[in-house]
Structure 1
Amino acid sequence: MDEKIVLIDGYSILNRAFYGIHAGMTNFEGLHTNAVYGFLNILLKILDEEKPDYLAVAFDVKAPTFRHRLYDAYKGTRKGMPDELHEQVPVTKEVLRAMEIPTVELPGYEADDILGTLAARCEKQNLAVVLVSGDRDLLQLASQKTKIRIPRTKAGTTTVEDYYDTDVKERLGVTPLEFIDVKALMGDSSDNIPGVPGIGEKTAYALIQTYHSLEAVYENLESVKPERAKKALMGGREMAELSKTLAAIDRDCPVEFSLEEARVGALFTPEAYEIMKRLELKSLLKRFEAGSRTTNSIEKDFLLVDDFSGAEDIFARAMKAERAGLQLISEKGEILGLALSFGKGEIYFIEAGGFLTGEYLAGRTAELCLRGKTTWVLDLKEMLPFLGIEETEGVLDAGVAAYLLNPLKSSYLYDELSAEYLGLTVPSRNDFLGKHSYREALSEKKEACAGCFCYMAYTAFAVGPELMDRLRKYGMEKLFLEIEMPLIYSLSHMEKEGIQVEREALRAYGDTLKVQIEKLEAEIYELSGETFNINSPKQLGVILFEKLKLPYGKKTKTGYSTSADILEKLAPEQPLVAKILEYRQLTKLKSTYADGLAAYICEDGRIHGKFNQTITATGRLSSTEPNLQNIPVRMALGREIRKVFVPREGYVFVDADYSQIELRILAHMSGDKRLIEAYHQAQDIHRITASQVFHTPFEEVTPLQRRNAKAVNFGIVYGISAFGLSEDLSITRKEALDYINQYFETYPGVKSFLDHLVSSAREEGYVSTLYGRRRPVPELSSSNFMQRSFGERVAMNSPIQGTAADIIKIAMVGVDRRLRREGLKSRLILQIHDELLVEAAPGETEQVKTILQEEMYGAASLSVPLEIDMKVGNSWFETK
């Protein structure tokens, strides 16, 4: 196998890290550290993934390069580096020196010239080359042996796009060398390439895909279409040729480089560790501290146990331990074993089999959980169906704790927790087992499987104290212990209970939809004058925007866009479009609910869905297998689906729904006196707002004014813009802006509160709910305007939506506890946003209503009253 070298574009990755991570990170000396931190995270991620033999980092030199001077001769507008980033460059180089990673610089040449030259040399020496940069310019260097890796940060998580030469051609439609000509035409302000004025990205790609080079474009100028592009090219030839010179990377610059000096050695040196301490990069500090420690030093303590006496001895010692980490391993309802760790060198996987039955392991696990000491697990809810235990203070879920500390991640697996909180890179489940199921892996690669499970137990054991320390530091210990941990038990109860579905009623509902869909198809074909595939955006686009010449046609590479927002603009004036929208809604209903729900009905006639508490960034729960939180409510036919959800025989449903909880939370958190007073008047809040905003007597408010006020009320909670409100209400942007301004004049405390949330998020990097739940807002540091605007909406909405989520969780736990404590047969079975659904046993309805009322009202004490709407019915439909 060829040896491999990783070459990193230093300034490019530092720049990406600087703008992708909250700029407020400083050490005790006041030195900014966000770029250094982000750079090292990306560096370590690439090292873990590539495992190179050689490594080097290229930097630009402060002296102007040839391309800089050439560009300045035309414009002289290159942007300087922000001071906060500039001060981190020498620190980054200091860290690299301490890690014995060579840095490469050459006056008069940019980093990408150095990278291009080194890549060419290394290819000739038969090395596999990996170039890491945030600059897409490097795509021109992609080849069969050189891979370009471009880090991308989204929602606080870094992913990396990979490009060989075939990937460039497949994704961009041009070869790596043709990419230079594309850049020459369209320019790149971020890379000081002016391009041809009037030639955009789409046109640039189209021209090079047709003619394959800048020179050929000018040779065939007379045949270039459209006319405006031809004119732009005629007047911009000199700029195009300059731009090509600027865009082309030098692959033969006279840089000195020793391959042997770049060989990867002991990166985590004592010197590097001292720098990490000085910079106060705590999450990295552990990795540098443990850098000399290999995963084998942990794995040597792993032990696979399959005999009863050995397991008994282990359990006896574990029962005395102050702390334990464990995970019951199961698949398709069957226990396969127990992973357990409770001290230095005490890391075991006890495999089910013989006398070590699943029932025995579950019983022993329950004893460990109830022993009165701390037990950390990775996924408690997955284990509870086997354990038969109720709430116990000693059991803590590491995944949920990690979720609170960083709710932007998509998963909280043992290898991720180990890397982030222990500074250890350990093999993932996929590394150990590939695509094998647990049962298959135990049969075919037992040793690897045991290693995977032992890492689970060790991580849970080792990471627990660090997680608790951070939760205390960030003020979320109470949120974790008093809301999120008890909630796990309530969710487990709900999943076990499930909800009954009338299978025949569901089938009949599907048949009704089928008839309606077929009728709509016939009407659509008649109105369009031909038959076509309604589900094909391409064919639909041709019908709407070419045949019928409708407005708002936006053509993309794959055809016209027929997204919902475009169709909704056309629908009021175009019966055909209105029917297409209805067709889409009905086909979605049929596929997702009429057909989709049937697959989830179990032998007991009930759907036992999953409730997830570590998915959303705001703290709201999500529902999967199936998603019952997205049951349609706007369409009449959509609401009909609720008729198939029924209580068991003799029971009834009691449904309680918080009324306008987010608006009430806004009133409380903002402290706006007029909004608080409006809620205390116990009248129609939307009518009151309309009266005050539009300066109309309360009794004279029109339905239209109330509707508009309602849209503003709820829009404000979600940080709606004038553009968004104008789209919602079909009014001009100016009218929408006037509505918003009038709202803020009416409720000035709300305006001050929302402004403070955004400014605080910019400064601190996060926003918080009333209960201390944090939501990071990295988007506010983005250089992209749309991302920053999204970040502002997140900063305004998350504290409100997150507080609502916290309150409904408190209510859920309270209701579930009361039903069980008071010995009732009634059970909480669903939570949908701000709504709780209880299946009430015969004779218990009034008691259930009292419990719901007391627990939901008592879940929070706000400066405005909480209100709930409660209904009883023989189906979910009847309760709405």
Structure 2
Amino acid sequence: MNQAPLVLVDGSSYLYRAFHALPPLTTSTGKPTGAVKGVLNMLLSLRRQYPQSPFAVVFDAKGKTFRDELFAHYKSHRPPMPDDLRAQVEPLHASIRALGLPLLCVDGVEADDVIGTLARQCAGAGRDVVISTGDKDMAQLVCPHVTLVNTMTGSVYDIEGVKTRFGVGPELIIDFLALMGDKVDNIPGVPGVGEKTACGLLTGINGGLQGIYANLDQVAGLSIRGAKSLAAKLEEHRDAAFLSYELATIKLDVPLDIEIDALLPEAPHREALIALYRELEFKAWLDELLREAAASQDDSDGESIQAQAQYTTILEPVDFAAWLEKLKAATLFAVDTETTSIDAQRAELVGVSFAVTENEAAYVPLTHRYMGAPEQLDLDTVLAALKPLLEDPQKTKICQHGKYDMNVLIRYGIELRGQAYDTMLESYVLDATATRHDMDSLALKYLGRGTIRFEDIAGKGAKQLTFDQIAIEQAGPYAAEDADITLRLHRTLWERLEAIPSLAKVLTDIEMPLVPVLARIERNGALVDAELLGVQSRELGEKLIELEKEAHAIAGQEFNLGSPKQLGAILYEKLGCPVLSKTAGGQPSTAESVLADLAEQDYPLPKVIMQHRTLSKLKGTYTDKLPQQINPRTGRIHTSYHQAVTATGRLSSSDPNLQNIPIRTAEGRRIRQAFIAPEGYRLLAADYSQIELRIMAHLARDESLLHAFQNDLDIHRATAAEIMGVPLEEVSNEQRRRAKAINFGLIYGMSAFGLAKQIGVGRPEAQAYIDRYFARYPGVLAYMERTRAQAAEQGYVETLFGRRLYLPEIQSKNGNLRKAAERTAINAPMQGTAADIIKRAMVAVDHWLQDSGLDARIILQVHDELVLEVHEQHVEEVREKLAPLMSQAADLAVPLLVETGIGNNWDEAH
């Protein structure tokens, strides 16, 4: 009977390789985890391939080995283990043991020796062995029963594979290593002997290392480069070669009290794994484990978690009446809608769920439409009964992403009020960088619970069902769980927020009041001129064809401008452009930054390619797509604003993304011209002027900056005068341009190298500008140093309103990661405070508009700008009130200047 092969994993080799090969990964608290995840991925893959096999993961033990006694300098060139890697060793060992996999560390020898001994024992007994490693030294162990696999590269080495890879068979690998040495392990070898020379010696003279040294007179006659002088070199380093042979030889006789069959893996220790995966924030694996735990609990208890939680699906009027009374009596309840689409402007209501106490929730199906669907309560009757409750501002409600529910319900005549809490926003305010803020992720993170996912009941891909097509028997527990989990999450998250009053205020004073405002802006939508966009698309298409012809003319042949491979061949092989950067795969890069550098060096093709990419993106993202995004019901475009995406608190938008329309090019500005005012209305745009620099002045309290803003000076001209030593009135436009680059560059942590590149001067001159800036604005330098120190001490920075941005990399031993975190620490309070200010302004402006009764509404928010649609009769009245309202959104040491403009389209108003 064939036995399953023994699988031996070189854990030490893979730990290092995973650490250096994979991108750094950290938890929300900054704990490095990338190497752990990489090795565990490999182990899980191996276990799936060899499910019946004995299995051992072997690591080097701490301390010296016999090789250190043979050669004092063995591995002495290796730098000490990086701190970020050292921190991952213990969690990895604990995870391997929790997976039920045998883990071996033997004092006095290396992992290779333990693997070699076990492999020899098994092979001697006629049993196959698979060694998983990335270490070439292990090739000496290959024999008819031993194979090497490298799961990181997919390589497999049997005897023929070793011969193909190294040019010699496994029986000569030690000799091969002895001759060429190993720089990594500091095995000396013979200087000047590389792979080709070692292979030539071993194939030209029989008998391995001993044979070569017994026949040095034959070396000169070999067809090897430098053969004539090689014999003398070999003789000179004879002792080193034989020492290297000993160092490279894997021990095959380590005393091991291990039975092979005792290496069969145990069942995973689920609770230990759950604790580890939660600590390491391996969310997908944690989700899978929790689902397995739930399933096993269902099997053992004979009833589902949902049944235990008393989830009810309401199909009878009497049951709905009973739940209605519960909701009326409750001081707080969770509410959630189920619909046919994630687009709130197009979604149809399918059902509503509620939770009042933990473990108890109900789903009211209303419009499930599938063959055999049971009779459901009447939609209008249910909504009429719920309307007073849902619109009562005194009835406290909790939602998860409540803006969506607001926009769905308003189309059914219900204006959701009293939404005091939103679990998505509670999580976001608590830690914007920690996790995704969807309900499934939050349930895993804060409740340690896997939830029913939409894909579990609706399927995936093109055949995915809409909610109204899902059987009520499946839909009920899913929807009820949503409400129950929302209630549970709120209690957990709000308790944590209350412990940090400044964060609780960010939620209650900024984020929650903004929810109905954003919902209203999304419903308002913006009118766009589809015909104008069509004209622009055609013109862009014509320009793209011209640019393509120009690129082909420069290249001297036709090629696909969108193909990095073809473009790379033209740039680097045919045109001889210098290779400035390479991809991860080792190919010359054609990335935007590389093309920009080449264009600066006056290579014409990169400049044309960049223009083509810019116009192609404008066409594909905006002029072609915007007309398709017009809502047929309203005739307008309704972007979605997202509060819980960016780390700094800034809003983002999607479908369409209005934040990324370029305004520095004529083509980009023309897209804004397609956002138009309806007949009888005008667009009014209000934009904070240099808000981040003003916040910098407030935070730094630098006298020169404060003076410039308090006296309404041109800040860039004032800065130029300060650092270039010229009178304010004599500052040239070029000097102002350079000062502007310095002002904004320092906010974003720009280096002298970056500044030099931006303003076209040498690095020493750029550094001199920076030095003079800090000499003239010492308060700014003090702020930066103070902020770096505070961030390092407490692990986060704050906005003026108490919003926190955690910086897990601020203590990293990796200098690049730490410096990036320091740059973020300096910029985040400014960018975050600007975000808080525009949000406060939106709330204030919206409240005033609602109370004023004027025919005006906010239709867009982009960066530091609000765009309103205002009836012609009210334009001046709104304009006079708007700027002061926005200026009062924060009390700074310098004025908050708001600039306004009016036009028939967005570009005119801006």
Which one is further off, 752-761 or 686-695?
752-761
| CA distance in structure 2 between the aligned counterparts of 1:371 and 1:663, rounded to whole angstroms | 39
Shift of 1:97: 9.4
Q: For the structure 1 residues 243 and 23, does the alpha-carbon distance in structure 2 shift closer, same or farther, using more than 3 Å as the test?
A: farther
Which one is further off, 750-759 or 293-302?
293-302
Give yes or no for contact 1:20–1:782 (8 Å, CA) kept in 2.
Answer: no
Amino acid at match of 1:317: K
- Alignment counterpart, residue 563 of structure 1, candidates 573, 588, 591: 591
Shift of 1:616: 1.1
Asked if 1:349 is matched to 2:363, the reply is: yes
- Alignment counterpart, residue 490 of structure 2, candidates 439, 464, 467: 464
Does the residue aligned with 1:395 lie in a helix, a strand or coil? strand
Aligned residue pairs, count: 822
Give yes or no for contact 1:24–1:764 (8 Å, CA) kept in 2.
Answer: no
Which one is further off, 521-530 or 329-338?
521-530
Amino acid at match of 1:463: L
- Alignment counterpart, residue 882 of structure 2, candidates 852, 860, 863: 852
Shift of 1:783: 4.1
Q: For the structure 1 residues 95 and 734, does the alpha-carbon distance in structure 2 shift closer, same or farther, using more than 3 Å as the test?
A: same
Tell me the residue number matched to 1:512.
Answer: 539
Give yes or no for contact 2:683–2:906 (8 Å, CA) kept in 1.
Answer: yes
Which one is further off, 672-681 or 500-509?
672-681
Tell me the residue number matched to 1:416.
Answer: 441
Tell me the residue number matched to 1:106.
Answer: 106
Asked if 1:318 is matched to 2:321, the reply is: no
Query: Could you give the per-residue CA deviations for residues 281-309 of structure 1, whole angstroms, max 9, x where no partner exists?
Result: 9x999x99999987647333353514132
Query: Could you give the per-residue CA deviations for residues 518-557 of structure 1, whole angstroms, max 9, x where no partner exists?
Result: 2333333334433332333333333333333334554555
Tell me the residue number matched to 1:596.
Answer: 625
Tell me the residue number matched to 2:76.
Answer: 76
Shift of 1:456: 2.1
Amino acid at match of 2:495: D
Shift of 1:440: 4.8
Asked if 1:497 is matched to 2:518, the reply is: no
Shift of 1:710: 0.5
Tell me the residue number matched to 2:218.
Answer: none
Q: For the structure 1 residues 525 and 84, does the alpha-carbon distance in structure 2 shift closer, same or farther, using more than 3 Å as the test?
A: closer
Which one is further off, 499-508 or 422-431?
422-431
Shift of 1:198: 13
Asked if 1:340 is matched to 2:354, the reply is: yes
Asked if 1:521 is matched to 2:524, the reply is: no
Amino acid at match of 1:413: D
Asked if 1:824 is matched to 2:854, the reply is: yes
Query: Could you give the per-residue CA deviations for residues 42-92 of structure 1, whole angstroms, max 9, x where no partner exists?
Result: 999999999999999866433324577778624525555799998998899
Amino acid at match of 2:377: L
Amino acid at match of 1:703: N
- Alignment counterpart, residue 579 of structure 1, candidates 600, 608, 613: 608
| CA distance in structure 2 between the aligned counterparts of 1:853 and 1:765, rounded to whole angstroms | 37
Amino acid at match of 2:339: S
Asked if 1:407 is matched to 2:436, the reply is: no
Tell me the residue number matched to 2:307.
Answer: 300
Amino acid at match of 2:108: G
- Could you tell me which runs of 5 or more consecutive residues in structure 1 were left unpaired when the two chains were aligned: 26-33, 142-147, 150-162, 200-206, 225-234
Amino acid at match of 1:673: E
Tell me the residue number matched to 2:715.
Answer: 685
TM-score (norm 2): 0.75
Give yes or no for contact 1:365–1:387 (8 Å, CA) kept in 2.
Answer: no
| CA distance in structure 1 between the aligned counterparts of 2:438 and 2:870, rounded to whole angstroms | 38
Shift of 1:652: 0.4
Does the residue aligned with 2:873 lie in a helix, a strand or coil? coil
Does the residue aligned with 1:780 lie in a helix, a strand or coil? coil
| CA distance in structure 1 between the aligned counterparts of 2:180 and 2:748, rounded to whole angstroms | 37
| CA distance in structure 2 between the aligned counterparts of 1:469 and 1:763, rounded to whole angstroms | 25
Q: For the structure 1 residues 832 and 76, does the alpha-carbon distance in structure 2 shift closer, same or farther, using more than 3 Å as the test?
A: same
| CA distance in structure 2 between the aligned counterparts of 1:198 and 1:812, rounded to whole angstroms | 72
- RMSD over aligned CA atoms reads 5.6
Tell me the residue number matched to 1:761.
Answer: 791
Amino acid at match of 1:754: M
| CA distance in structure 1 between the aligned counterparts of 2:570 and 2:803, rounded to whole angstroms | 50
Query: Could you give the per-residue CA deviations for residues 223-244 of structure 1, whole angstroms, max 9, x where no partner exists?
Result: 99xxxxxxxxxx9999999999
Amino acid at match of 1:452: Y
| CA distance in structure 1 between the aligned counterparts of 2:571 and 2:244, rounded to whole angstroms | 40
Tell me the residue number matched to 1:386.
Answer: 408
Amino acid at match of 1:461: L
Asked if 1:256 is matched to 2:258, the reply is: yes
Amino acid at match of 1:580: I
Amino acid at match of 1:499: A
Q: For the structure 1 residues 98 and 495, does the alpha-carbon distance in structure 2 shift closer, same or farther, using more than 3 Å as the test?
A: closer
Does the residue aligned with 1:560 lie in a helix, a strand or coil? coil
Query: Could you give the per-residue CA deviations for residues 273-330 of structure 1, whole angstroms, max 9, x where no partner exists?
Result: 9x999x9x9x999x99999987647333353514132233233223323443332111
Q: For the structure 1 residues 521 and 318, does the alpha-carbon distance in structure 2 shift closer, same or farther, using more than 3 Å as the test?
A: same
Shift of 1:511: 1.7
| CA distance in structure 1 between the aligned counterparts of 2:190 and 2:653, rounded to whole angstroms | 50
Q: For the structure 1 residues 94 and 673, does the alpha-carbon distance in structure 2 shift closer, same or farther, using more than 3 Å as the test?
A: same
| CA distance in structure 1 between the aligned counterparts of 2:850 and 2:165, rounded to whole angstroms | 69
Tell me the residue number matched to 1:648.
Answer: 678
Q: For the structure 1 residues 48 and 802, does the alpha-carbon distance in structure 2 shift closer, same or farther, using more than 3 Å as the test?
A: farther
Does the residue aligned with 1:687 lie in a helix, a strand or coil? helix
Tell me the residue number matched to 2:217.
Answer: none
Q: For the structure 1 residues 119 and 841, does the alpha-carbon distance in structure 2 shift closer, same or farther, using more than 3 Å as the test?
A: farther
Does the residue aligned with 2:686 lie in a helix, a strand or coil? strand
Which one is further off, 409-418 or 605-614?
409-418
Query: Could you give the per-residue CA deviations for residues 319-353 of structure 1, whole angstroms, max 9, x where no partner exists?
Result: 32344333211123112222333224313333224
Shift of 1:431: 4.6
| CA distance in structure 2 between the aligned counterparts of 1:575 and 1:810, rounded to whole angstroms | 48
| CA distance in structure 1 between the aligned counterparts of 2:848 and 2:137, rounded to whole angstroms | 62
| CA distance in structure 1 between the aligned counterparts of 2:802 and 2:241, rounded to whole angstroms | 55
Query: Could you give the per-residue CA deviations for residues 645-696 of structure 1, whole angstroms, max 9, x where no partner exists?
Result: 1011111000001100011111111222221112112111001111111111
Shift of 1:11: 12
| CA distance in structure 2 between the aligned counterparts of 1:768 and 1:136, rounded to whole angstroms | 47
| CA distance in structure 1 between the aligned counterparts of 2:395 and 2:541, rounded to whole angstroms | 58
Which one is further off, 41-50 or 778-787?
41-50
Shift of 1:794: 1.4
Which one is further off, 318-327 or 647-656?
318-327
Tell me the residue number matched to 1:476.
Answer: 503
Give yes or no for contact 2:98–2:268 (8 Å, CA) kept in 1.
Answer: no
Does the residue aligned with 2:678 lie in a helix, a strand or coil? coil
Does the residue aligned with 1:325 lie in a helix, a strand or coil? strand
| CA distance in structure 1 between the aligned counterparts of 2:249 and 2:785, rounded to whole angstroms | 46
Shift of 1:563: 2.4
Does the residue aligned with 1:831 lie in a helix, a strand or coil? strand
- Could you tell me which runs of 5 or more consecutive residues in structure 2 were left unpaired when the two chains were aligned: 142-147, 205-221, 226-235, 299-303, 342-346, 368-374
Amino acid at match of 1:798: A
Correspondence 1:259-278 to 2 at 5 A: 263-264=266-267, 268=271
Does the residue aligned with 2:334 lie in a helix, a strand or coil? strand
Give yes or no for contact 1:139–1:176 (8 Å, CA) kept in 2.
Answer: no
Amino acid at match of 2:398: W
Q: What percent identity do the matched residue pairs reach?
A: 34
Give yes or no for contact 1:618–1:775 (8 Å, CA) kept in 2.
Answer: yes
Q: For the structure 1 residues 688 and 130, does the alpha-carbon distance in structure 2 shift closer, same or farther, using more than 3 Å as the test?
A: farther
Amino acid at match of 2:354: L
Tell me the residue number matched to 2:803.
Answer: 773
Does the residue aligned with 2:355 lie in a helix, a strand or coil? strand
Asked if 1:376 is matched to 2:398, the reply is: yes
| CA distance in structure 2 between the aligned counterparts of 1:307 and 1:811, rounded to whole angstroms | 45
Shift of 1:846: 2.0
| CA distance in structure 1 between the aligned counterparts of 2:878 and 2:180, rounded to whole angstroms | 67
Correspondence 1:864-875 to 2 at 5 A: 864-875=894-905
- The structure whose Rg is larger is 2
Q: For the structure 1 residues 620 and 36, does the alpha-carbon distance in structure 2 shift closer, same or farther, using more than 3 Å as the test?
A: closer
TM-score (norm 1): 0.78
